[in-house]
Amino acid sequence: MTRQDSTHPNVPGVDQSDRQVPVNLRQSGPTPVQMLISTRIRKSPFWHLSIEAGCWRAEVYNRMYHPRAYSRPEDGGAMAEYRALVNRVTLWNVAVERQIRVKGPDAEDFVNTVITRDATRIDPMHGRYCILCNDRGGILNDPVLLRLSGDEFWFSASDSDLMLWLQGVNTPRRWDVEIGELDVAPLQVQGPLSEALMSDLLARDLSDMPYYGLTEARIGQASVVISKTGFSGEQGFEIYVRDASQHAEEVWYAVRGIGARYGLRVIAPAHHRRIAAGILSWGQDMDVETSPFQVNLAYQVPRKKTADYIGKEALEAQRTRIEADEYPFALKLVGMTLGGQPITDYAPDFWLIQDEQGRRCGYVTSPWYSPELETNIALGYVPYALSDIGTRLAVELPETYADESGEPVPAEVVDVPFVSSENPSARERAKSHGRDSAE
């Protein structure tokens, strides 16, 4: 098979000819294996506390063990955790978001070179969601970037080796900066009661704290950075614990102690709610071979940024082709509503999408059931010609969720987010005002 005519050998109808490594679309279903816990994968400072809180399922993220379920299926499973998030307040162990610090006289210039957004517009003690791309415009990582001071930035990394990339960019050393991982581990406090809980915990009013604002604080003897951010679409905060290997228990128990007044529940990161908010997951909805223009992240590629950055030439070439109605990619990420029984757990496969003629043409990346909309929702890749709102499709669900065995369920392309976020993204805000989402 030549490179020019290659499509995925298992599902030839899904065009992946623009990928060097196609997404594995084999439908293997749930695989009954036990995760091996060994010393070659790091346990976070909160790992034992998560086990104590009832964590029974985990995966690996950033080469660290990552709690992915606390409520057992017989006790309501993930949807019980969802109800706690949207109705009260929850605590998440997200120490897998490794903190990579860039510090030094050239920090701003270095960061401005590796992210697509304009780092000069981020004030000290503020943060931003951002992406880093390679020279082909592929998304390497999508961290939350925290600016602690004029010469210090923290990348709260998603699931790829960001530190190694940043150190490689500065070899040979062209910028006067130090790049390395910190002994800082974050927790998330998410849900409608999160502001009240955090104000109580810190003994200060946080009602005027802006989204992506930062503040220094102490919890007992622990020095922490608080950000008004989160991965849920609900109101929330993150607690970045300095010297976390020493202070993990102190902060964890302090949050749980105050949280008891608010009905706090320890849960796994809420992918069901982040899907509803249209928040993407690196490695699931996008990867190093994905362009921001494929996944509704055009607002991360600002027109007004004059400084050069890695990937700029490729991304501007892609933008030019798109504006000339020459879509340069095989597939585009869309939102869908779909039929079938309620999807109440993580999908073990990228379920296949069919067009109206029954031809396989795409795949689902992130599905779940939305109680608010009373239907299944999903993010998935389809050909550009099938990406318009209202396009009718079908999804091949496993028998657990299918209405009829072996029969696909109807689906329809819809706008994203499915459910409004408490903190709308720049893309959402621009769209609501009828503006181009690119800065």
Q: What's the pTM value of the predicted model, to 2 decimals?
A: 0.94
Which neighbouring-strand residues pair with 66? 59
Question: Which pair of tokens denotes residue 114?
Answer: 């590796």
- Among residues 404, 402, 405, 407, which one has the least CA distance to residue 376? 402
Give the HSE-up count for residue 323: Cα atoms under 13 Å, Cβ half-sphere.
8
pLDDT digits (tens, 9 = 90+) for 285-336: 999 999 999 999 999 999 999 999 999 999 999 999 999 999 999 999 999 9
pLDDT digits (tens, 9 = 90+) for 125-167: 999 999 999 999 999 999 999 999 999 999 999 999 999 999 9
Residue with tokens 């392309």: 413
* Domain 1-34+330-439 CATH (choose: 3.30.310.10, 2.40.30.110, 3.40.50.300, 3.50.50.60): 2.40.30.110
* Alpha-helix residue ranges (DSSP H) falling in 150-243: 162-169, 194-202
pLDDT at 434 over 80: no
User: Sorting pLDDT into bands at 50, 70 and 90, what band is 368?
Assistant: very high
Pair type for strands 236-242 and 57-61? unpaired
- Among residues 149, 145, 147, 224, which one has the least CA distance to residue 189? 224
- Among residues 370, 385, 351, which one has the least CA distance to residue 419? 370
Q: Distance between CA atoms of 415 and 284, rounded to whole angstroms? A: 19
Angle formed at CA 230 by CA 186 and CA 137, multiple of 5 degrees: 95
Query: Phi/psi class of residue 366: alpha, beta or left (left: φ > 0; alpha: ψ in -120 to 50)?
Result: beta
* Domain 184-263 CATH (choose: 3.30.43.10, 3.30.1330.100, 3.30.1360.120, 3.40.50.720): 3.30.1360.120
pLDDT at 168 over 90: yes
pLDDT of 341 reads: 97
Q: Distance between CA atoms of 374 and 372, rounded to whole angstroms? A: 6
pLDDT of 207 reads: 95
| pLDDT over 90 percentage in the chain | 90
Angle formed at CA 369 by CA 406 and CA 77, multiple of 5 degrees: 100
pLDDT digits (tens, 9 = 90+) for 173-186: 999 999 999 999 99
Q: Distance between CA atoms of 315 and 312, rounded to whole angstroms? A: 5
pLDDT of 44 reads: 97
- DSSP for 322-358, written as a single string: HHTT---SSEEEEEEEE-SS---S--SS--EEE-TTS
Give the number of other CB atoms < 10 A from CB of residue 5: 7
Q: For the chain, what is the largest distance between any 2 Cα atoms, rounded to a whole number of angstroms?
A: 65
pLDDT of 421 reads: 79
pLDDT digits (tens, 9 = 90+) for 134-143: 999 999 999 9
- DSSP for 2-34, written as a single string: -STT---SS-TTS--TT-SS------------P
Q: Which helix (H) or strand (E) holds 91?
A: strand 90-93
Torsions phi, psi of 383, nearest 5?
A: -60, 150
Q: If you average pLDDT over every residue of the chain, what do you get?
A: 94
Question: Which pair of tokens denotes residue 343?
Answer: 């999807």
User: Sorting pLDDT into bands at 50, 70 and 90, what band is 5?
Assistant: very low
pLDDT of 428 reads: 58
Instruction: Give whichever of 12-21, 383-392, 418-427 has the largest mean pLDDT.
Output: 383-392
pLDDT of 437 reads: 53
Q: Which helix (H) or strand (E) holds 276?
A: helix 271-276
pLDDT of 432 reads: 53
What's the order of all strands across the beta sheet hosting 222-227? Answer: 214-219, 222-227, 236-242, 184-190, 90-93, 265-266
Mean per-residue pLDDT, 97-116:
98
User: Sorting pLDDT into bands at 50, 70 and 90, what band is 431?
Assistant: low
User: Sorting pLDDT into bands at 50, 70 and 90, what band is 55?
Assistant: very high
Q: Distance between CA atoms of 316 and 215, rounded to whole angstroms? A: 36
Q: Distance between CA atoms of 387 and 331, rounded to whole angstroms? A: 9
Question: Which pair of tokens denotes residue 27?
Answer: 């439908």
pLDDT digits (tens, 9 = 90+) for 227-266: 999 999 999 999 999 999 999 999 999 999 999 999 999 9
pLDDT of 7 reads: 55
pLDDT at 3 over 90: no
Q: Distance between CA atoms of 313 and 315, rounded to whole angstroms? A: 6
pLDDT at 211 over 60: yes
Mean per-residue pLDDT, 351-357:
98
Where are the domains positioned within the chain? 1-34+330-439, 184-263
pLDDT of 107 reads: 98
